[in-house]
Chains A and B, each alone.
Chain A
Amino acid sequence: MAEATRIRRPARLESLPLFAQFVMDACAAHGADPETTYALRLAVEELGTNTIKYGYSGMDAGDIALDFAAHPDRFVLTLTDWGKPFDPRAAPQPNVTLSAEQRPIGGLGVYLVMSMMDEVSYRSDAERGNALTLVKLRDGQRSAEKRNT
């Protein structure tokens, strides 16, 4: 059985610290390792910022909801909003091999989050909103999966 918890707040920059605290508290309560906690905290900051700045741009700002579920083998975090659809899996990849002089400033946030997750899925529909689901496997499961691949 998964243990689930939820927070829903207006899509404003002031909500971001609340989202970060929600994820850190949930991770601590369910024994997530530091890497998982970091990755999920980063996810709510980077993707939450995108939703606030771009997802709701040109329209009345709605809410962002976070659902956190702790399963025996994994942590699942779903970010839902009701703004413009954006599938971060389709975001352009930055070239991380360029020199400092050639590197553009920015464009790393979504890439970092995608790189740190074990699974990512996305669905968008008019009624239920845009839902991005991020999965981090628990420690033991990560090494077990690696052995099996």
Chain B
Amino acid sequence: MKVSVKPMDGSIVVCIEGSVDGLTADELLAKLDEQVDAGKVRLVADLSGLEYTSSAGLRALLGTVKRARNKGGDLRLAAVQQPVFKVLDLAGFTGILKIFDDVPSAVASFK
């Protein structure tokens, strides 16, 4: 798993690549927590390079959505690939998270 963070137009884009599993999800959650703790709660997860997530990754996403919304922000998803989308859908996350086709659309949705 590789996680990189960059600001874009008033939002923070968190690019998550590779595989998120039980061994790497804590690192992802730490990176997301860091942003929320710093008051940066307009978050966009760029999932264009995410090939695999287990329930450990879903826990990190849900925890961050809850924290960001509590602080008046949100975590929105962009460019979700089909296998990951299926897991999000089975888990009911497609109904509770805002999902966009690409990063610019997700960033623009905060305006």
Proximity bits, A13-57, B CB within 8 Å = 1, else 0: 100110010000000000000110010011001100100000000
Which residues on the A side are within 8 Å of B54 (C-beta)?
Answer: 42, 45-46, 109, 112
A-B contact count, CB below 8 Å? 64
Q: How far is the CA of A138 from the CA of B87 in the complex (A)?
A: 19
Map CB proximity to A onto B53-65 as digits: 1 under 8 Å, 0 otherwise: 0110011001101
B21 to chain A, nearest CB (A): 6
A108 CA to B89 CA, complexed, in Å: 12
Most chain-A Cβ atoms within 10 A of its Cβ — which of B54, B69, B97?
Answer: B54
Once the chains bind, are B22 and A38 in contact (CB under 8 Å)? no
Q: Flag if A105 contacts B65 (CB, 8 Å).
A: no
Determine whether the beta carbon of B91 is less than 8 Å from that of A108: yes
Which secondary structure characterizes the binding site on chain B? helix
CB proximity to A under 8 Å, residues B45-95 = 52, 54-55, 58-59, 62-63, 65-66, 69, 83, 86-87, 90-92, 95
With both beta carbons as reference points, the residue of chain A lying nearest to B87 in the complex is identified as: A112
CB–CB A16/B22 < 8 A: yes
Complex Cα distance, B87 from A45, in Å, reads: 14
- Per-position binary interface string of chain A over residues 87-118, scored 1 when its CB falls under 8 Å from any chain B CB and 0 otherwise: 00000000011111101011011011001100
CB-CB nearest in chain B for A104: B62
16 additional A-B pairs beyond A108-B59, A116-B90, beta carbons within 8 Å, are: A16-B23, A35-B86, A41-B52, A42-B52, A42-B87, A46-B54, A46-B55, A96-B90, A100-B62, A100-B97, A103-B92, A103-B96, A105-B59, A106-B55, A106-B59, A108-B91
- Between-chain CB contacts (< 8 Å), 30 pairs: A16-B21, A16-B23, A17-B23, A20-B21, A34-B83, A38-B83, A38-B86, A38-B87, A42-B52, A42-B54, A49-B22, A96-B90, A96-B91, A97-B92, A98-B92, A99-B96, A100-B62, A100-B65, A100-B69, A100-B96, A103-B62, A105-B59, A105-B62, A105-B66, A106-B55, A108-B58, A108-B59, A108-B91, A111-B90, A112-B90
